[in-house]
């Protein structure tokens, strides 16, 4: 008998699906919790279906970036950044992992932004045009390499690993964002995304932390 996903398909109102779901991570559990909260029995029954999970990821991604785009349109500030995409996926694919916690997410991106800006300053690139608009110089390559190295090292030293921060530091060190006000807007966008993740995961019954990751307590 094929036992794949059978435990996660049980729509019984008193039980949660086991983790991980058919594609790994906690996305099936998040969708199960939302379906129960919204009283959608058909979705509860099909929450572990790969096509349904893919649709959930599609819709949730559109909502996440849509909120950022709306904020950008209303304020005229650039709230949409490439590194927010992988962060959004982490918040709903592995929400209880340390890398997706608010602390790691916010501090990780902050480290990336500061490291990128510091690299620009050290190599005299604060007023240089973005690398994508000009040729790639030795100074630009050095700044990108230093920023990524600093980001990785600082996240390890501070114990706040968040992989998407590696994209943030390259966005800065390549000159795509280099003004302090732009970096402030980037961090505000990160905070808004974390707030969305908190609301959705808590609605789904996922113990998403308020700030620091929850201590490991064994296998659930």
**pLDDT over 90 (residue 151):** yes
Tokens 């969708």 sit on residue: 31
> Among 73-82, 86-95, 181-190, which is the least confidently predicted range?
73-82
**pLDDT over 70 (residue 218):** no
CA distances in angstroms from 27 to 33, 48, 62, 96, 213, listed in the order given: 10, 9, 16, 11, 18
The domains of the chain are located at: 7-203
What is 162-200 written as a DSSP string? -TTHHHHHHHHHTTSS-SHHHHHHHHHHHHHHHHHHHHH
Q: What is the pLDDT of residue 18?
A: 58
Q: CB 97: neighbour CB atoms within 10 A?
A: 15
What is 69-95 written as a DSSP string? HHHHHHH-S----TTHHHHHHHHHHST
- Mean pLDDT value across residues 61-84: 85
**pLDDT over 60 (residue 1):** no
Tokens 């785009």 sit on residue: 69
> Among 7-21, 74-88, 113-127, which is the least confidently predicted range?
7-21
Local structure of 161: helix, strand or coil: coil
CB contact at 8 A, 168 and 116: yes
- CA-CA distance, 104 to 155, in Å (whole number)? 9
Instruction: Encode pLDDT of 98-142 as tens digits.
Output: 999 999 999 999 999 999 999 999 999 999 999 887 878 999 999
More confident residue, 74 or 101: 101
CB within 8 A of 19, min separation 6: which ones? 25, 26, 28, 29, 220
CB within 8 A of 69, min separation 6: which ones? 79, 80
Which H/E stretch holds residue 148?
helix 138-158
């Amino acid at each position: 008998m094929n036992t794949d996903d059978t435990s996660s398909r049980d729509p019984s109102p008193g039980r949660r699906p086991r983790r991980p779901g058919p594609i790994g991570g906690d996305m099936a559990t998040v969708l199960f919790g939302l379906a129960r909260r919204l009283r959608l029995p058909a979705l509860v029954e099909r929450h572990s279906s790969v096509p349904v999970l893919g649709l959930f990821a599609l819709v949730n991604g559109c909502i996440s970036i849509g909120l950022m785009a709306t904020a950008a349109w209303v304020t005229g500030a650039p709230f949409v950044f490439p590194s927010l995409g992988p962060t959004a996926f982490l918040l709903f694919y592995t929400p209880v992992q340390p890398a997706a916690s608010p602390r790691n997410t916010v501090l990780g991106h902050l480290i990336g932004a500061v490291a990128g800006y510091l690299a620009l300053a050290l190599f005299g690139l604060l007023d240089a045009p973005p690398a994508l608009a000009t040729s790639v110089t030795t100074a630009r390559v050095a700044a990108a390499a230093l920023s990524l190295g600093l980001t990785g090292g600082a996240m390890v030293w501070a114990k706040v690993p968040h992989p998407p921060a590696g994209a943030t530091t390259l966005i800065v060190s390549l000159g795509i964002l280099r003004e302090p006000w732009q970096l402030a807007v980037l961090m505000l966008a990160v905070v808004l995304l974390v707030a969305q993740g908190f609301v959705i995961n808590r609605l789904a019954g996922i113990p998403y932390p308020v700030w620091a990751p929850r201590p490991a307590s064994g296998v659930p």
